[in-house]
Structure 1
Amino acid sequence: MRWRATILGLLGYVGLPYLLVQRLNLGLVREGQQRRKALALTFDDGPDPATTPAVLDALREAGARATFFVIAGRAQAHPDLIRRMLEEGHGVEAHAARHVHAWARTPWGAFLDPLRATRRVSAVKGRPVRLHRPPHGAYTLATVLGQRAAGVTGAHWSIEGRDWHPASTPDGVRQRVNALAFPGAVVVLHDAGPGARNTVPMLPDLLSDLKERGYALVPLEELDGAAPLSLRNLPRRLMRGVDRMFDRLAGTRPAGGRADNLFRVGLVRFPLSGITLQGGVPLPKGTPAAEFHVNNPLLVDLGLRRSLRLAREDFRDLARDLQTRPELQGAQVVFCLSALSPLLATLGFETHDLSPADTRRLRGWANVLRWAYGSDPRAPTPKLSVMSRGAFVARYGEGAALSGPWKKT
């Protein structure tokens, strides 16, 4: 009986907080909405007079603002750096009083740390701290209760730069953040400690990359829709996890290698029988094909009209993938099975009806997606949208004109 009580105690103290808070981020701020092309850069473990000024210089030069999660003792030792952060429009929030993983602390120590960090950082800042990010983003039940007692909201991230990893390099961190960046993302980097050796040299180039791609770089509290993840929004969070698992299993990747692309694409064998393309060209089952899927969170947040404009631009990346990704070289057609066929028809795709069995299966899945993302649960009839490889590359490949009502400006 004693071992059962021990296991139940560990599940309640570590297991459930790990699953619900640390992994799913329930109750934490982890990202904003995707309708505005903005993201929040956050920096942990500072301030450090040896490295933080270079981070601040790079942000100022780029006209970017960020959020710093600071260690209380370092903030008290370097109030001039905290003052500079605030004067230059950055957010300053609490990271820790002692930088120790929550699982390596006593329950009482894990409970007290958010209170102590919040109180001490607020005193240096001269105004109340509203957010707290524990070391390593790690949680126990005591951490959750400590945040509540301190009156702060937990803050996590949706993109980890991994600048702290021994195998990371400045260019590798830059490439990783560029590939994973999406509207509403919260990026975690470090302005002090081991991560600073990568972040400091690569930051000016990363800021230039993101600005060139049209991103506004804002403090976390100014990120549109950045709010604690609630039970109501949990299905959306879970569905994104399902998408990632599917992509790994199927070898599907974002078009252009960018997570903010509206489409994900992978090589498959064409799954349907009895399809004939316009012009009388048969499309046999098993033909190598590039199947694309829609980036559902981006589609929902942008709305259909803005998504149409973005689709024409992002199909250029997909056309480039057809020509450069080795696994897509043999794809003979580009297709999608979805309820978006009327929209895809305006972008040049043929539309074909599906069998009753395929229609029922795909309509059921479409209804699940609409429920998870809070859309109208009545999904239109799913259909096949398809275009030959040659026609797709001619329409969206290098040199194709961006004309018409969806031209991106």
Structure 2
Amino acid sequence: MSWWLWLPFGILLCIFVYAILPDLFLHRLGIGSWKRQYSSGVALTFDDGPDPVYTPQLLNILGSNNIPAAFFVVGEKAQQNPNLLKAILAQGHQIGVHSLKHRYAWFQSPWTTWHHWDEAVAAVEQITEKPVQWIRPPWGTFNLALWFWIIIRKKKAVLWTSEGHDWKVCNKPDQIANRVLEHINEGSIIVLHDSGGQMKAPENTLKAVEILCRRIGEEQKLPIIKLEIPTWSMTRRLTYRFWEMWENGFAKLYKIERISANNLLRLSQKRYKGPTLYSSEGRLLAKDGDIVGEIHFDNARFMGKETDSQLIALKALREIRSSLSEVAAYIKQNPNYAEIKVFLGLTLIHRGVKGLGFEVNDVPITLNTRLIAFLQRFILKIYHPGGKVRAQKMNKTYPKLVFITRDELIYRWLN
């Protein structure tokens, strides 16, 4: 067969290897990139800036709402507006790089790709005097040269899970916010734009950000947190993701609810199955078939970087106390919990709970309690700081029933 018959095939193969394959792995599948974060809550990010008109307004909105964000800046715009980068950092926000000239990766040669990203990173680092860790290519598109550049330069490509299409001026603030809210969950990365797009489109973005600062906490019960990308292997990321999907399904099935964006505890109601439950004074609290309240740890809220066990314990105790006060106020005001006499949980973590007003009962060691113990040890390994070591120490520990009456919960934590 003549060489010219192979030429179209060779061209298509080169396009596939150089453009389509890297984009498939990094953009579509998230292999080699980070399409979400693994801390509790959602992260807010902005592309295409900095902009001398809109970025200062955005910083004011974020500051007044005490909301952190990450800005992925275009290298040339950063060079033109160095003081804006310094203002972003001064207000506690984070900076990544969004290329040098905002060009589509598929149409850039290998040498242009390499040169532009090196120049963009160098420009931002010279202004901020901080190393750049994260990059995000325009439109989230990659080519083979950029993939190699990311690996050799040891950068992390950070993408997103939710976007508002705010670069279109026809999309109004409520539309932008609604689109974002449709696609967020624990771990989501939101992308919006403080520059670029159609003329005056960022004006809608600014209003949408104010809406999102309120609605994400009120409606989704999620905090807006700093972007944090861990040094996890793909195996751990997949394990976390599959377990998170299972937990979300379990919470939906059993109607386990969050009561606020930052509370460490979640609530549900269930039909009690077990021996008749009495208080320490002998008062009947629940018998088989009664509806009781159930308290659950919101495991994602325990994610953290601390390794000192004493610091972890002190922080957890402080946050548990704050959470219990919020739970007490919630059940007092919520008519759905007005008839609940007792709140309980079956847990391995029962040491010290008496000091919080709970009572503790032993339960028979059955196949069910062994299974619960196994699952809770697994949860410790996945979510909790130092959880693997702690789970090993609990190999011979079994869950106990901890409970508190509604009256005691309200009296102790609201007074």
TM-score, normalisation: structure 1? 0.68
Paired residues for 1:1-150 under 5 Å:
17=26, 21=30, 28=34, 31=37, 42-58=45-61, 67-72=70-75, 75=77, 79-86=79-86, 89=89, 91-96=94-99, 106=106, 115=114, 117-122=116-121, 124-125=123-124, 127=126, 129-135=132-138, 144-149=147-152
* Contact in 1 for aligned 2:23/2:141 (Cα 8 Å): no
The residue number in structure 1 matching 2:219 is none
Task: Tell me the amino acid that sits aligned with residue 369 of structure 2.
Answer: T
Structure-2 separation of matches of 1:13 and 1:298: 34
Which of 200, 204, 210 is matched with 2:206 structurally? 200
User: Residues 305-338 of structure 1, C-alpha deviation per residue, up to 9 Å, x if partnerless?
Assistant: 3212211111122223324445445433211121
Rg comparison, structure with higher value: 2
| Separation in structure 2 between the aligned mates of residue 136 and residue 331 of structure 1, nearest angstrom | 51
Report the CA distance shift for 1:261/1:52 in structure 2 as closer, same or farther (over 3 A).
same
Whether 2:278 is the aligned partner of 1:269: answer no
The separation in 2 between residues aligned to 1:250 and 1:140, in whole angstroms, is: 45
**One-letter code of the match for 2:411?**
A
The yes-or-no answer on 1:347 pairing with 2:346 is: no
User: How does 1:325-364 map onto structure 2 within 5 Å?
Assistant: 325=334, 327-355=336-364, 356-364=366-374
Match of 1:387 in 2: 404
| Per-residue CA distance 1:124-143 (angstroms, 9 max, x = gap) | 43637442123465778776
Shift of residue 233, structure 1, vs aligned partner = 4.3
CA contact 2:361–2:401 (8 Å) conserved in 1: yes
Q: Deviations for 1:75-97, whole angstroms, at most 9, x for unmatched residues?
A: 27xx3324431365365432246
Task: Indicate yes or no: 2:316 matched with 1:315.
Answer: no
Supply the distance in 2 between the matched residues of 1:241 and 1:112 (Cα, whole angstroms).
41
**Higher relative contact order, chain-length normalized (CA < 8 Å, sep 6+):** 1
Change (3 A) 1:122 1:171: closer
Structure 1 residues 163 and 16 mapped into 2: Cα distance closer, same or farther (>3 Å)? Answer: closer
- For the residues of structure 1 that align with 2:142 and 2:287, how far apart are their CA atoms? 53
Match of 2:291 in 1: 288
Q: Deviation string for 1:96-135 (max 9, x for gaps)? A: 467688xxx74x7597886465234235436374421234
**Quick one: which amino acid aligns to residue 86 of structure 1?**
K
* Change beyond 3 A, Cα 1:316–1:209: farther
- Residue in 2 that maps onto 1:406: none
Whether 2:247 is the aligned partner of 1:243: answer: yes
Distance 1:268 1:135 in 2: 49
Is 2:151 the partner of 1:152? no
For the residue of structure 1 that corresponds to 2:231, the secondary structure is: coil
Distance 1:216 1:253, change over 3 A: closer
**Residue 263 (structure 1) shift:** 0.9
Measured after TM superposition, the shift of residue 360 of structure 1 is 0.9
In the alignment, is the contact (CA less than 8 A) between 1:29 and 1:229 conserved in 2?
no
The 1-side partners of 2:340 and 2:172 are apart by 36
Question: 2: distance between equivalents of 1:287 and 1:186?
Answer: 42
Amino acid in the other structure paired with 2:206: V
Classify the secondary structure of the residue corresponding to 2:57.
Answer: helix
Could you state the TM-score of these two structures normalised by the residue count of structure 2? 0.67
Tell me: CA distance 1:196–1:331, structure 2 relative to 1, closer, same or farther (3 Å).
farther
Measure the CA separation in 2 of the matches of 1:231 and 1:306.
Answer: 29
- How many residue pairs match? The answer is 362
- Offset of 1:277 from its aligned partner? 1.9
Query: In 1, distance between residues paired with 2:140 and 2:35?
Result: 12
| CA distance, structure 2, for counterparts of residue 60 and residue 80 of structure 1 | 24
Residue in 2 that maps onto 1:405: none
Q: Is the 8 A contact 2:73 2:97 kept in 1?
A: yes
SS at match of 1:261: coil
Structure 2 CA distance for partners of 1:332 and 1:190, relative to 1, 3 Å: farther
Instruction: Note the alpha carbon deviations across 1:15-60, whole angstroms, 9 max, x for none.
Output: 65467626xxx664955878xxx99753212233442232245567
Structure 1 residues 87 and 114: alpha-carbon distance in aligned structure 2, compared to 1, 3 A threshold = farther
Mapped to 2, the partners of 1:114 and 1:132 lie a distance apart of 13
Determine if contact 2:134/2:156 at 8 Å carries over to the other structure: yes
Q: Secondary structure at the match of 1:89?
A: helix
In 2: Cα distance, 1:237 partner to 1:57 partner: 35
